[in-house]
């Protein structure tokens, strides 16, 4: 992961789609408040923190000690903590991201994790959540990365809104490659394959798959909703007051 997340097509493409959702809203928030404080909840080895650090004052948390060590090697700030018990006061951050984390078996209560992320978010602040999508894509990869669940768009929106946030945008992603992924995951089940399918591909495929994801990011930045895909994202805002 430490090596792959800066260059491999899936990481680079997913990051482009996430930023296409987050950056316009974060720029408007920065115009009103100044440079934003950003928390990456479940930061892994810190690849996303590097990019979030260009948008604001970024810090991450992760449960895995090795991940924290790699974050320090990258030169980004990260603390060891569970998503369900964040070591920050309430109303501490202007934006919180959680990118492919709350689906994990190590997060047994995704609702509690979202509630805790909302607690540390300032009124009017932004939350971006990304999770794997659609049970039909369940395969060897999910077992390899300790998945607990794959979500529909409706499930994710309900999960976030049930914790007091207002979803402003929600879309699937990794849509153009969905047919290939569906075939791959179906074969996984039929042939009983094991192991993750996120890896470096031959250079022509790396280029093509990355271009497909960057094209999706361009559409998302223009406000297009993608109706199906291997991931689903929701951008939500914490109401400015109890009355919204």
- Enclosing H/E stretch for 79: strand 78-80
pLDDT in tens, 35-74: 999 999 999 999 999 999 999 999 999 999 999 999 999 9
What is the per-residue DSSP string for 157-182?
HHHHHTTT-EEEEEEEES-TTHHHHH
Q: Which residue has the tokens 């004052």?
A: 57
Residue 194 has a pLDDT of 80
- Within a domain: residue 243? no
Residue 237 has a pLDDT of 98
Residue 242 has a pLDDT of 46
Neighbouring residues of 202: CB distance < 8 A, sequence distance ≥ 6:
none
- Within a domain: residue 222? yes
Give the domain extent around 31: 4-237
- Within a domain: residue 60? yes
Report residues of the chain scoring pLDDT below 70: 242-244
What is the count of structural domains for the chain? 1
CATH number at residue 19: 3.40.50.150
Strand partners, 212: none
- Within a domain: residue 49? yes
- Within a domain: residue 244? no
- Within a domain: residue 242? no
Neighbouring residues of 175: CB distance < 8 A, sequence distance ≥ 6:
216, 226, 227, 228, 229, 230
């Amino acid at each position: 992961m430490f090596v792959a997340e800066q260059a491999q097509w899936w990481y680079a493409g997913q990051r482009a789609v996430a930023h296409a959702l987050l950056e316009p809203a974060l720029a408007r928030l920065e115009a009103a408040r100044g440079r934003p404080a950003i928390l990456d909840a479940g930061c892994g080895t810190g690849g996303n923190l590097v990019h979030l650090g260009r948008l604001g004052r970024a810090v991450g948390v992760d449960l895995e000690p090795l991940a924290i060590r790699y974050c320090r090697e990258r030169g980004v700030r990260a603390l060891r903590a569970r998503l369900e018990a964040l070591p920050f006061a309430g109303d501490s951050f202007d934006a919180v991201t959680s990118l492919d984390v709350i689906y994990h078996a190590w997060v047994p209560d995704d609702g509690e994790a979202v509630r805790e992320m909302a607690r540390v978010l300032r009124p009017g602040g932004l939350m971006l959540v990304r999770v794997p999508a659609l049970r039909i894509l369940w395969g060897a990869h999910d077992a390899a990365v300790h998945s607990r669940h794959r979500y529909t768009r409706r499930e994710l929106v309900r999960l976030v809104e049930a914790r007091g946030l207002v979803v402003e945008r929600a879309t699937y992603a990794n849509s153009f490659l969905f047919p290939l992924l569906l075939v791959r995951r179906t074969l996984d089940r039929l042939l009983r394959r094991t192991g993750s399918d996120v890896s470096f591909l031959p250079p022509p495929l790396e280029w093509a798959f990355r271009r497909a994801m960057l094209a999706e990011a361009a559409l998302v930045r223009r406000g297009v909703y993608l109706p199906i895909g291997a991931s689903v994202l929701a951008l939500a805002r914490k109401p400015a007051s109890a009355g919204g």
